[in-house]
A and B are shown apart, each in its own frame.
Chain A
Amino acid sequence: MTLTYLKKHTAYARIAMAQGRRERAELYGRVVFFAVILGVFSSLWRAVGEAGLPASGDPRALVWYLAATEWIMLSAPQIHLEIQEAIRRGDVVYRLGHPASYVMAEFAAGLGATALRMPFLGLTAFGCAFAFTRWTPPLSAIALFIPFAVLAAALLVALYLWIGLLAFWLQDVSPVFWVTQKLMFVFGGLMLPLAMYPSAMQKAAAFTPFPVMLFAPASIVLGTGLVRPVILARDLALWGGVMALVVQWTYRRAAAGLTVNGG
């Protein structure tokens, strides 16, 4: 991987960031949605606490946990939609001839959009979590969580990229996205830490990349010691490698089977 190769693909990231800066409505909408979701869940956890039954966690910590997982989820742009449209319209054909890998270009663009969103949504996440709970986890926990959140968001971008590539066969990948997203909610422990799920579900989740995307990084904020940073780094690297192989394989199969009509 030469410097030229990196510069080439970094340009796609910069373009995506510039586009994102102009199209702010989407970002503002996510900020509002984020604040609303944290408000709803802070009410929910208060109600759970009032019911007097253990929810395996301090309600305030659970709000911060949700802020952490939602930060990762909402920061990753849904690039599968753009890839799907490019494939449907046939625009992808023009990209194949470019002196840049289509897959790497899309991944770089996704990372660029993520880099633009993360600071805004991070401020929203932690600002709202503090406003609703009047409490913060140890700053060292938040500081340790942030780099893992960035890596997890990058892995999520790769997942969306793979879903988008399925449009070569499916044309409409929305159903795949819906189910993948909901599986991520469940097996990734988006709203409830995975430790609160039945053990059978926890075991099943271990075979998916979703826990390392959401539950594991956000658990650092909970401060339970359930997740060791070294193990998490290893798991992120492993799943990153798996995702890279899957994406490349899918793209090669798609490009090999592509029939280009017309001049």
Chain B
Amino acid sequence: MTRWVNTLRFARALVTTNLKAALALRGAFVMQALFMVLNNFTFFVFWWVLMRRTPTLRGWRLADIQVLFGVVAAGYGLTVTLAGGVRYLGQAIEDGALDTLLTQPKPVLLHALGLRLQPSGFGDVLSGLVFILWSGQVSWRTAPAVALAIAASALACAACGIVFFSLAFWVGRVETAARQLWELLLTFSLYPEPLFGGALRLALFTVLPAGFVGYLPASVVREPSIQNMSMLATGAVLYFTLAVLVFDAGLRRYASGSRFTTFG
């Protein structure tokens, strides 16, 4: 129990330190967050224009797409804010930068994920929340469902990032491929699930779980039910557990890079 409490305290300290570092350059922080909000709203113009001409798309309306967009944006934003180090995990493994973390008495994965914070993530979270509220499909009663959906989306997104970038333990130089796989995940998660059929739909809930990043969380927001929420929570936790197991398996193969660097 004490170990878990200490781990949570350490996680909180990582986030606090990252936040302080990001806020030290306040202008850059605000600019990144603001421009990301602008970026997301500009990107959404496509859906607004399309849905003006086609009010329903296989049962989906503009409000549904707003919820989907909002959940994915907020989930991704939460991932790169709290676990911003996930994008650099592959590089850290390849360069031997995990050496420093291995000497610390804290979980290596947690430490690696919490090493960085991406200020634009705040813009993603903010724009995500605005999209969800703007959709008109939520109320104060559904706020817990919204929170669960965003948290589960972030967990699934982080889990995929950990798995993709951990491939570096086995394959070596995998930075570009892993980054593009992660971008593919986000691409698929931003489009309504009814567009995809058959084998692809199965893949989007298994090997490339974009369904757990976008579609299922959005369903929970639109129609909160115990069944949906349980399925979402279970799926997200399972994927994250799998990601941790993959990372741990890779870490057992990790060889020191004998790299000299500064830390802290």
User: In the complex the two chains form, is A48's CB within 8 Å of B54's CB?
Assistant: yes
Asked whether A178 is an interface residue with its Cβ less than 8 Å from the other chain, the reply is yes
List residues of chain B with CB within 8 A of the CB of A237: none
List residues of chain B with CB within 8 A of the CB of A198: 49
| A residues neighboring B (CB under 8 Å) | 25-26, 29, 32-33, 36-37, 40, 43-44, 47-48, 50-51, 53-56, 171-172, 174-176, 178-179, 181-183, 185-186, 191-192, 196-198, 201
User: In the complex the two chains form, is B176's CB within 8 Å of A179's CB?
Assistant: no
Instruction: Give the interface segment out of B29-37, B103-111, B135-143, B247-255.
Output: B29-37
User: In the complex the two chains form, is B32's CB within 8 Å of A48's CB?
Assistant: no
Interface core residue of A37, A175, A181 (most chain B CB under 10 Å): A175
Q: Shortest CB–CB separation between residue A107 and chain B, in angstroms? A: 24
Instruction: Give the interface segment out of B12-20, B78-86, B181-189.
Output: B181-189
- Total interface residues on B, CB under 8 Å, equals 35
List residues of chain A with CB within 8 A of the CB of B49: 192, 196-198, 201
The residue on B at minimum CB distance from A37 is: B187
The residue on B at minimum CB distance from A40 is: B191
User: In the complex the two chains form, is B42's CB within 8 Å of A186's CB?
Assistant: yes
A175 contact from B36, B43, B54, B58, Cβ within 8 A: B36
User: In the complex the two chains form, is B194's CB within 8 Å of A47's CB?
Assistant: yes
User: In the complex the two chains form, is B46's CB within 8 Å of A26's CB?
Assistant: no
List 25 A-B residue pairs with CB atoms under 8 Å apart, sorted by A's residue number: A25-B176, A29-B176, A40-B188, A44-B195, A48-B54, A51-B56, A51-B57, A51-B58, A53-B53, A56-B53, A172-B28, A175-B35, A175-B39, A178-B38, A178-B39, A179-B38, A179-B39, A181-B39, A182-B39, A185-B42, A186-B42, A192-B46, A196-B49, A196-B53, A197-B49
With A43-B196, A47-B57, A171-B28 as known contacts, state yes or no: A191 contacts B177, CB within 8 Å. Answer: no
Asked whether B225 is an interface residue with its Cβ less than 8 Å from the other chain, the reply is no
Asked whether B1 is an interface residue with its Cβ less than 8 Å from the other chain, the reply is no
Interface digits, B149-167 against A, CB 8 Å rule (1 contact, 0 not)? 0000000000000000000
The residue on B at minimum CB distance from A176 is: B35
Besides A44-B195, A179-B38, 18 new A-B residue pairs in contact (Cβ under 8 A), listed by A number: A32-B180, A33-B187, A36-B184, A37-B187, A40-B187, A47-B58, A51-B57, A53-B53, A54-B53, A172-B28, A175-B35, A178-B35, A178-B39, A179-B39, A182-B42, A182-B43, A191-B46, A197-B49
The residue on A at minimum CB distance from B197 is: A43
In B45-76, which residues have CB < 8 Å from any A CB? 45-46, 49-50, 53-58
List residues of chain B with CB within 8 A of the CB of A47: 57-58, 194-195
List residues of chain A with CB within 8 A of the CB of B34: 175
List residues of chain A with CB within 8 A of the CB of B91: none
**Distance between Cα atoms of A223 and B173 in the complex (Å):** 44
**Distance between Cα atoms of A171 and B25 in the complex (Å):** 12
User: In the complex the two chains form, is A183's CB within 8 Å of B180's CB?
Assistant: no
With A32-B180, A44-B191, A183-B42 as known contacts, state yes or no: A50 contacts B53, CB within 8 Å. Answer: no
**Distance between Cα atoms of A120 and B197 in the complex (Å):** 28
**Distance between Cα atoms of A198 and B120 in the complex (Å):** 30
List residues of chain B with CB within 8 A of the CB of A191: 46
**Distance between Cα atoms of A36 and B195 in the complex (Å):** 13
